[in-house]
Structure 1
Amino acid sequence: MDGTTVYGYLISPEEGKELKGIVQLAHGMAETAERYERFARSLAAEGYLVYAHDHRGHGKTAGDLENVGYLADKEGFEWLVRDMHNLTDIIREEHPALPLFLLGHSMGSFAAQRYAMEHGKELTGLILSGSNGNQGIMLKAGNIIAAREVKKLGRKARSEKMNQLLFGSFNKRFHPSRTEFDWLSRDDEEVDKYIRDPYCGAVFTSGFYHDFINGLMVIEKKSNRRKVPKDLPILILSGDRDPVGKFGKGVRNLYEIYKNTGVKDITLKLYPEARHELLNEINREEVTNDIITWVKQHTV
């Protein structure tokens, strides 16, 4: 709608297989939708269509590496959520009757939280991976620093300060560390694949951080929390060693938030010793099977 071309993916079940439903994926920050191909093929084998796209400022949607980490000239996080709903519109044009699940990981999980506030009635179920609940005063402090970075550097400049503020402490619990991304997974090969991918792990722009934190502050408003449909089934998944979810504390908070706002069907599963990227963890088959089982249970 603002002229940004968003690059999408579709993985389908084998021809002739009965279609049971659809899973729309929203990937995390500083990565791409292609990293979910293994998981998507597992869903397709069970009869589910999987739609995904590279968010603006990411992967093929960003195009050149120099564009990675910048979402829009204003309202970048809200535009990211609008892009997700635009994909939903495309999905519904092609498959108006199939059950539709939205799975968001990390940044994508926060976008999915925001999506559910505005478009939750369009979903059969919501799955949040690597997420977090309310962060309160930390967000307000981060917002002030991000605004200063925008004023000092400009929106398109990469902010080492914000990158350090958000991610600098994530590896502290994993010493002696092998890489600066050990917090992602216990699977060294998956961590190395992430590091080798030029579209992963970039330092993002000051404009991104400012827009993202503003988006998180919008999500935390009680009036917006109450917009999530009470009959929307929600599955929250996290490793209890995931720093994004405050090692279980943050996702427990998120579970309680939804419960207290009246959501009737909500499930929280914490995986012992697992880190941030559950679908790239050493127990990924367990996680994949848990998601498929939950989706099947809610496919109507």
Structure 2
Amino acid sequence: MSESRSFSFAGEDGLDIQTVEWPLDAPRAVVIVAHGMAEHASRYEGFARALNGAGYAVYAPDHRGHGRSVPSRADLGHMADEDGWAKAVRDLRTLTGIVRERLPALPVMLFGHSMGSFMAQRLAIDDGEAYSAIMLSSTNGPPGAVARLGRLVARAEQFRLGRRAPSPLIQSLTFGAFNKPFAPARTDFDWLSRDEAEVDLYVADPLCGFDCSTATWVSLLDALPGLGEPEAIARMPKDLPLYVFAGTEDPVGERGRGVARLLAAYERAGLRRVTSKLYPDARHELLHEINRDAVIADLIAWLDGLGEG
């Protein structure tokens, strides 16, 4: 296996999007990884190495406002003043084009975790033909009343604090609320994993766990309803292979309820190649959970099975 390496490409507004590549001399396919909110691409090193071992080259960008894709440390958590989440989706589309230019003969798969899974849902709707498969980790389905209320709160906080400021109220209603079911909690991020060592690594990482700006939250929450619209899902290729997996104790997926809504929406739309798996007792970050080896093995087995179909 080759060493990982980094490069950058320009987003539509000229922002440098820093990207980690785990290359292979003769890969069978490529996986693009879209990480979640308040983390970064390098956390997927173990996952990428496992994919390398199975013959898959891996590319993972730091989304704008995350990792090294920031003009300065003060911009951590701020995607853009306007439409930051949509711009991050378009960054992924740009990276997909770069990968196709570099490796034109290979299938390209997209893996999205949490916020990255919503980006992957958007690309499945708008650009589904560009991918040979899409994997959604710790995702959710069409939002309900609570999410609609969250949009109103985020807009009010943006008006009150400004676009670039974080909001303690939004943080309390999201990440803070996610942790409450695990009280008495050892840390503010027990909801991520049952593996205490992995949680401690997250807490100690200066590029993880930060508060995002009000504009980032507004752009994300405004985007979610469109992902669940029947007419949007109907635009997805009916034979696009989809792998949806989550933990039964993941608060982002409402402990499986939100995942069930998503799967039901896909079934109503007539999508024919949807595979799903729920892992009992697992929390949000399945790639950093105590059963991560089994999770990764299951995902690679699914990918390998596509080539046999």
Question: Is residue 274 of structure 2 the alignment partner of residue 266 of structure 1?
Answer: yes
Question: Is residue 18 of structure 2 the alignment partner of residue 12 of structure 1?
Answer: no
- CA shift in 2, pair 1:140/1:175, >3 Å: closer
The whole-number CA distance in structure 1 between the counterparts of 2:235 and 2:168 is 35
The whole-number CA distance in structure 2 between the counterparts of 1:260 and 1:222 is 8
Please tell me whether the aligned partners of residues 24 and 102 of structure 1 are also in contact (alpha carbons under 8 angstroms): yes
What is aligned with 2:231?
223
Q: How does 1:229-244 map to 2 (within 5 A)?
A: 229-244=237-252
Question: Is residue 287 of structure 2 the alignment partner of residue 276 of structure 1?
Answer: no
What is aligned with 1:172?
180
Q: 1:39 aligns with which of 34, 44, 47?
A: 47
1:139 shift after superposition: 2.5
Number of corresponding residues: 297
Q: 1:77 aligns with which of 85, 100, 105?
A: 85
Q: 1:2 aligns with which of 2, 6, 13?
A: 13
1:63 shift after superposition: 5.0
SS at match of 2:231: helix
- Structure 2 unmatched ranges of 5 or more: 1-11
Question: Is residue 69 of structure 2 the alignment partner of residue 61 of structure 1?
Answer: yes
1:96 shift after superposition: 1.3
The whole-number CA distance in structure 2 between the counterparts of 1:208 and 1:19 is 35
The whole-number CA distance in structure 1 between the counterparts of 2:140 and 2:257 is 8
Q: 2:148 aligns with which of 130, 140, 151?
A: 140
The whole-number CA distance in structure 2 between the counterparts of 1:31 and 1:185 is 14
1:25 shift after superposition: 0.2
Q: Which stretches of structure 1, 4 residues or more, deviate above 6 A after TM superposition?
A: none
The whole-number CA distance in structure 2 between the counterparts of 1:64 and 1:72 is 13
The whole-number CA distance in structure 1 between the counterparts of 2:307 and 2:69 is 31
Please tell me whether the aligned partners of residues 139 and 252 of structure 2 are also in contact (alpha carbons under 8 angstroms): yes
The whole-number CA distance in structure 2 between the counterparts of 1:208 and 1:92 is 29
SS at match of 1:299: helix
1:299 shift after superposition: 2.9
Deviations 1:154-204 (A, max 9, x none): 100111111111222212221221111000001101000000001100111
The whole-number CA distance in structure 2 between the counterparts of 1:172 and 1:138 is 16
The whole-number CA distance in structure 2 between the counterparts of 1:184 and 1:115 is 25
What is aligned with 2:5?
none
The whole-number CA distance in structure 2 between the counterparts of 1:123 and 1:75 is 24
1:220 shift after superposition: 2.4
1:48 shift after superposition: 0.7
Deviations 1:44-71 (A, max 9, x none): 1111100111000000112532111111
Q: TM-score, normalised by structure 2?
A: 0.94
Q: 2:100 aligns with which of 71, 92, 100?
A: 92
The whole-number CA distance in structure 2 between the counterparts of 1:38 and 1:176 is 30
Please tell me whether the aligned partners of residues 65 and 198 of structure 1 are also in contact (alpha carbons under 8 angstroms): no
Please tell me whether the aligned partners of residues 246 and 253 of structure 2 are also in contact (alpha carbons under 8 angstroms): yes
Deviations 1:16-44 (A, max 9, x none): xx421010000000000000001101111
Please tell me whether the aligned partners of residues 176 and 188 of structure 2 are also in contact (alpha carbons under 8 angstroms): no
The whole-number CA distance in structure 2 between the counterparts of 1:189 and 1:72 is 33
After TM superposition, the structure 1 stretch with the greater mean CA deviation from structure 2, 208-217 or 164-173, is: 164-173
The whole-number CA distance in structure 2 between the counterparts of 1:108 and 1:290 is 20
Deviations 1:73-110 (A, max 9, x none): 21111101000000000000011121111000000001
What is aligned with 2:8?
none
SS at match of 1:101: strand
The residue type paired with residue 188 of structure 2 is E
The whole-number CA distance in structure 1 between the counterparts of 2:66 and 2:210 is 10
- Structure 1 unmatched ranges of 5 or more: none
The whole-number CA distance in structure 2 between the counterparts of 1:102 and 1:260 is 23
SS at match of 2:178: coil
The residue type paired with residue 65 of structure 1 is R
SS at match of 1:8: strand
The whole-number CA distance in structure 2 between the counterparts of 1:175 and 1:182 is 9
**RMSD value, Cα:** 1.1
What is aligned with 2:133?
125
Please tell me whether the aligned partners of residues 11 and 49 of structure 1 are also in contact (alpha carbons under 8 angstroms): yes
The whole-number CA distance in structure 1 between the counterparts of 2:290 and 2:71 is 31
